[in-house]
């Protein structure tokens, strides 16, 4: 699996500074004039932080729109902000979710790289732990093992039958198989999550292909918090902490 959709932590390639306003990708080249060139869409953009800052209340409203599933194109005119600004903050929210998921899965799976079985190319794993869905990554973690990973209630693998099909991110080319489930209800939870994920992902345009795992972890977050508002509060707090606008008061 290509790793260009996994965020880099180096200061030179900081996702906060190098999020592409055109396609929301987070991998970019540093140009001699200080600008960046997106590795995905090849467009150039500036990371100048002297642009107009957003108030804390406006950041909250962006999080509200993200939470309700409004696209950035709808959020922008309703809040009277630039479309690219909305896209950047949406990407920041997805980065927050992705980072939290990565931290969580690191406590339940061993670091490493999973071997590819003949005829199966894993895209990601759906893990059920402490009543929540967590996403595992085959290029960063070993394959879930029911004997070793006793803290997991259930695990499923989403895979494709060819590397080409996997790279296309076409939903009807991705299949789910349960690796194990310690409880009958757990198997139903895995199945329900994958069904809802495919339904939600089909509504996104091509942007999800560039940041596929960001969108998958977003689906897990939405699934885990669809019956409570704690997720929205958590998103708002995270957006304030990671935004260069965080020093502005309400």
With a cut of 70, say whether residue 248 has pLDDT above it.
Answer: no
d(CA 134, CA 112): 17
pLDDT at residue 249, as a whole number: 43
What confidence tier does 15 reach under pLDDT thresholds 50, 70, 90?
very low
d(CA 154, CA 11): 37
What confidence tier does 10 reach under pLDDT thresholds 50, 70, 90?
very low
Question: CB–CB of 46/35 below 8 Å?
Answer: yes
Question: CB–CB of 239/62 below 8 Å?
Answer: yes
pLDDT at residue 50, as a whole number: 43
Comparing 150-154, 163-167, 174-178, which segment has the lowest mean pLDDT? 163-167
Other Cβ atoms less than 10 A from the Cβ of 62: the count is 27
Tens of pLDDT, residues 24-44: 678 888 887 677 888 888 888
**Phi, psi (5° rounding) for residue 204?**
-80, 150
* Ramachandran quadrant class, 131 (left: phi over 0; alpha: psi -120 to 50; beta: rest): left
- 97 to 3, 73, 104, 219, 231: CA distances (angstroms): 18, 21, 11, 10, 10
Instruction: Say what the pTM is.
Output: 0.75
Comparing 114-118, 163-167, 190-194, which segment has the lowest mean pLDDT? 114-118
Please state, rounded to an integer, the average pLDDT across all residues of the chain.
83
Determine the average pLDDT of the residues in 36-64. Answer: 81
| b/e map 184-216, b = 16+ CB within 10 Å | eebbebbeebbeebeebbeeeeebbbbbbbbbb
pLDDT at residue 118, as a whole number: 79
CA–chain centroid gap for 225, Å, is 15
Question: CB–CB of 26/9 below 8 Å?
Answer: no
Q: What is the DSSP string of 38-63?
A: ETTT--EE---TTSPPPPHHHHHHHH
Question: CB–CB of 166/158 below 8 Å?
Answer: no
pLDDT at residue 205, as a whole number: 60
pLDDT at residue 191, as a whole number: 95
CB-count exposure of residue 141 (10 Å: 0-12, 13-18, 19+): buried
CB-count exposure of residue 116 (10 Å: 0-12, 13-18, 19+): middle
Report helix, strand or coil for 162. Answer: coil
Comparing 84-88, 112-116, 136-140, 147-151, which segment has the lowest mean pLDDT? 112-116
d(CA 116, CA 122): 7
pLDDT at residue 67, as a whole number: 96
Q: Which residues pair with 136 in a beta bridge?
A: 125
Tens of pLDDT, residues 63-117: 999 999 999 999 999 999 999 999 999 999 999 999 999 999 988 888 887 777 7
Question: CB–CB of 19/91 below 8 Å?
Answer: yes
């Amino acid at each position: 699996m290509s790793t260009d959709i996994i965020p880099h932590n180096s200061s030179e390639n900081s996702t906060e500074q190098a999020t592409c306003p055109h396609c929301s990708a987070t991998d970019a080249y540093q140009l001699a004039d200080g600008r960046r060139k997106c590795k995905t869409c090849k467009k150039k953009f500036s990371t100048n932080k002297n642009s107009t800052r957003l108030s804390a209340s406006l950041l909250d409203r962006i999080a509200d729109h993200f939470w309700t599933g409004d696209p950035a194109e709808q959020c922008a005119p309703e809040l009277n902000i630039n479309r690219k600004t909305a896209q950047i903050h949406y990407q920041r929210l997805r980065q927050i979710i992705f980072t939290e998921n990565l931290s969580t899965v690191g406590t339940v799976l061993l670091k490493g790289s999973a071997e590819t079985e003949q005829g199966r190319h894993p895209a990601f794993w759906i893990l059920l732990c402490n009543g929540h869905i967590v996403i595992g990554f085959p290029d960063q973690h070993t394959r879930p093992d029911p004997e070793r990973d006793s803290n997991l209630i259930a695990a499923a693998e989403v895979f494709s039958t060819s590397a080409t099909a996997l790279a296309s991110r076409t939903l009807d080319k991705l299949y789910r198989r349960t690796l194990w489930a310690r409880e009958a209800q757990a198997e139903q939870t895995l199945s329900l999550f994958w069904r809802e994920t495919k339904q939600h992902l089909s509504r996104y345009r091509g942007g999800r292909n560039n940041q596929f795992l960001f969108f998958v972890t977003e689906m897990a977050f939405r699934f885990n918090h669809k019956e409570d508002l704690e997720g929205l509060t958590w998103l708002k707090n995270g957006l304030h902490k990671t935004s260069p606008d965080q020093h502005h008061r309400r």
